[in-house]
Structure 1
């Protein structure tokens, strides 16, 4: 573990070249009793797809390694691109409990930042999940910088050039810090010191039905240094209408490091997906929860032909030269997230 703050590092954007994608395989039936087997099948499909573009590194108990290999092989994945680690987790949301990687400005060396993770304010067990960044640093032999602030990967979005977006409802929530909220100034200071960002844009809150209290990765995502996809809602009666409208208006005032405005690509939210007899009455489905790979983008779809197709087309336009792969995410979103939520990218 490295002492103090990282010097001369930055938080790279997801659209920059990647070394690997990290996943935490569904291995704890208690965390998803109704969807456990469906989720494993879905992970087999997703891991196989990733393996055709880059390495996929998987946290999973030793007992399930053989089945994971079989599942990836069944889905015609490339097993030579798969690294399995005996890292046991409580849940599958590697974007949030996984290592947040930073990159040295001169040498290009990659290191790990290890934040506190408490399952979005103690909503679920998290003792194992919170050990993953340390274990990743150990197997990768990387420097690791720790912070006692609670930050999840899905709560921050960057353009790789010093600009970071987040939501107050998550990072300033007292549930992230044992009942006592961090101030905005404290949080900004820590984010800047740990991640090398220079400018932080705060939105108030996130979308309805989100266990995380409102992660940014369901709302606004960078597709280039100076361009974002922003989710919008046209139905005025929808609970997301006001929240997304406010965020969309706020984006007009955001500037990149060189003072230029952002290009804003609007995508309409999927129709509300309701769940009966479930802890979430409304599921946090969003097309913004896509996963960027080297030469490909995996796009979540929700069985809504017209809206799915428009979202696929718009995302494809944002990533010329990358293949667009659509993944049905209804089972995933039942558990509270989609493609981006389960994957943490490791930069080259």
Structure 2
């Protein structure tokens, strides 16, 4: 489907849009980690307890759709769930071959139409962040499989787009980064204006706001979900690094200044809440993309990755002052972050309608 054809009914023209993450969920989708290349050596088995804690926390407020690579992995999971006191009735396990665990990027983008009470799925293309980690063909097929399972119609824009690269306020505005969406390894044939048109047409948006770069150690080329997140229609949290000697200081300060100059569709400035980065997490001499911004908003609460450092409590306290309608819950992500992502990267919400 091409959005250059005015005769084609786009999701936006049909009244569909991508709701904000705080919109009530019917479920959250996860893809169970199994790729030794992402968590090398004994790191995969070591991160599983933290991953099951994530499943448990989500499942207290909604169903968890769990894509598993094969029957062997399904048996392992079914054996582990009781150890974490996870309610089997809250877990929907689908045996779907996958390449890796990052459901935010390879999973389905669910749209809703509040008028007709319908949902549809946008099946964006996925190329493992510019072809960095082949193969990725199984991951690229996952959205259509979940759509078939749910019995939802799909639309296929035909371009690369990752869920972690876009952030929504639910009132027509998308935040994203130039480093990712304008990267030549994604859609080199498209201009910025053309990419914006795809976002308008297939996410039901009216406005795109751009920051520049992402944090050090982020192999996705600057995903927004590690730097800036909407927490309501007109408020964002943004990560900052007070230490001027830190490589992230200048990047995040530049983003902050850009955010200060932005205006929403109603002409208002953004309310900006600054949160200090965690202390650097070093993995085998490599700096991981540890960030409190990679939280997941779900029905049961706001699940915030923590990193066993002094800034954890401050981040949790700041977020608790923002989210009045649900608890803010810190979960240890020190083993999960070895895979170069955290709770938001691992998940994709399925909204209610």
Q: Distance in 2 between matches of 1:49 and 1:117?
A: 28
Q: Secondary structure at the match of 2:124?
A: strand
> Cα RMSD over matched residues?
1.6
2:320 — aligned with what?
316
Q: How far apart are residue 108 of structure 1 and its match?
A: 3.0
- What SS is found at the alignment partner of 1:116? coil
Q: Does 1:339 align with 2:340?
A: no
SS for the counterpart of 1:209 is: coil
1:119 is matched with which residue? 128
Is residue 233 of structure 2 the alignment partner of residue 225 of structure 1? yes
Name the structure 2 match of 1:85. Answer: 94
1:134-153 correspondence runs (5 A): 134-153=144-163
Question: 1:157-208: per-residue Cα shift (whole Å, max 9, x none)?
Answer: 000111000011111111113xx35210110011111111000011111111
Unaligned runs of 5+ in 1: none
Residue 324 of structure 1: how far off its partner (Å)? 2.1
Aligned-partner SS, 2:272: strand
Structure 1 position 43, deviation (Å): 1.9
How many angstroms apart in 1 are the aligned matches of 2:224 and 2:189?
Answer: 19
Equivalent positions of 1:283-302 (< 5 A) are 283-302=288-307
| Number of residue pairs aligned between Structure 1 and Structure 2 | 342
Whether the aligned pair in 1 keeps the contact of 2:104 and 2:345 (CA below 8 Å) is yes
Alignment of 1:214-293 (within 5 A): 214-277=222-285, 281-293=286-298
- For 2:138, the equivalent position in structure 1 comes to 128
Name the SS for the 1:330 alignment partner: coil
Q: For residues 103-127 of structure 1, give each alpha carbon's deviation from its aligned partner in whole angstroms, at most 9, with x where no partner exists.
A: 1141231211011100001111211
- Residue number in structure 2 paired with 1:11: 18
2:152, 2:119 → 1: CA distance? 7
TM-score w.r.t. the length of structure 1 is: 0.94
Can you list the C-alpha shifts for 1:51-79, whole angstroms capped at 9, x where unaligned? 11110000002222222123222111111
**Residue 236 of structure 1: CA displacement?**
1.1
Cα distance change on mapping 1:4 and 1:62 into 2, 3 Å: farther
Deviation (angstroms), 1:295: 3.5
Is 2:33 the counterpart of 1:23? no
